[in-house]
Amino acid sequence: MALMRWDPFQDLWQVREEVNRLFDHTLSRYPALRGLRGWQPAVDMYEDDKEITVKAEIPGVEPKDVDITVTADSISLRGELKEETERREDGYIRAERRFGEFYRTLPLPAEVKPEEARATFKNGVLEVKMPKAQVGRREGVKVKINEVH
């Protein structure tokens, strides 16, 4: 008999998938609850010597409906995908498209200069480029010493 390695994370993944299926099924039966769940866009992040780039898939979202916040060590994306028309008739075979608000915060692998971040939007893909801050070159603050008598 061969030994099999047990991966506890695989079991957790399967539980997560089952819970997601349960919520998807419940929300599809009660359309009024569908907007409460939200969703998260798929994201790619990569870096080179000079900058960090984040690409997020948000097809159907208007750029004016997206808010990007960059700090020295994180990026947050918030927005909303608005449903075109509400259909309450029978005859749906499948409804998988997501609508509603999304929010995602990602830690960055290196410190960036938030004030120099720039974003573009093309074909449903948001791209944010953030220049890296120089390591070890933080501005110091002079502290005055008050003498106590």
Q: Is residue 89 part of a domain?
A: no
Structure tokens at 37: 């769940």
Residues 68 and 26 occupy one common structural domain: no
Any domain includes 122: yes
Q: Could you tell me if residue 52 is inside a domain?
A: yes
**pLDDT mean for each 10 residues of the chain (149 residues):** 69 77 62 57 94 93 90 91 67 68 91 92 93 72 62
Together in a domain, 33 and 47: no
| Residues in a beta bridge with 100 | 81
| Cα–Cα dist 80/90, whole Å | 26
- Are 33 and 48 contained in the same domain? no
Do 112 and 67 reside in the same domain of the chain? yes
Which pLDDT value is given to residue 34?
47
pLDDT at 35: 47
pLDDT at residue 93 in the model: 67
Residue 94 in domain: no
* The predicted structure's pLDDT at residue 127: 94
DSSP alpha helix (H) spans, 45-94 = none
Q: What is the pLDDT of residue 87?
A: 61
Instruction: Check whether residue 17 and residue 65 sit in a common domain.
Output: no
pLDDT at 11: 75
Pairing of strands 51-57, 125-131: antiparallel
Report pTM.
Answer: 0.62
pLDDT, position 99: 73
Mark whether 57 and 130 lie in a shared domain.
yes
Range of the domain at 71: 40-83+99-135
For position 146, what pLDDT does the model report? 65
Give the pairing of strands 125-131 and 74-81: unpaired
CATH number at residue 44: 2.60.40.790
Query: Are residue 123 and residue 70 in the same domain, yes or no?
Result: yes
Do 14 and 28 fall into the same domain?
Answer: yes
Residues 26 and 44 in one domain: no
79 and 113 together in one domain: yes
DSSP state of 86: -
Tokens of 58: 């948000």
Residue 90 lies in a domain: no
Residues 128 and 76 in one domain: yes
Q: Are residues 33 and 44 in the same domain?
A: no
Number of domains into which the chain is organized: 2
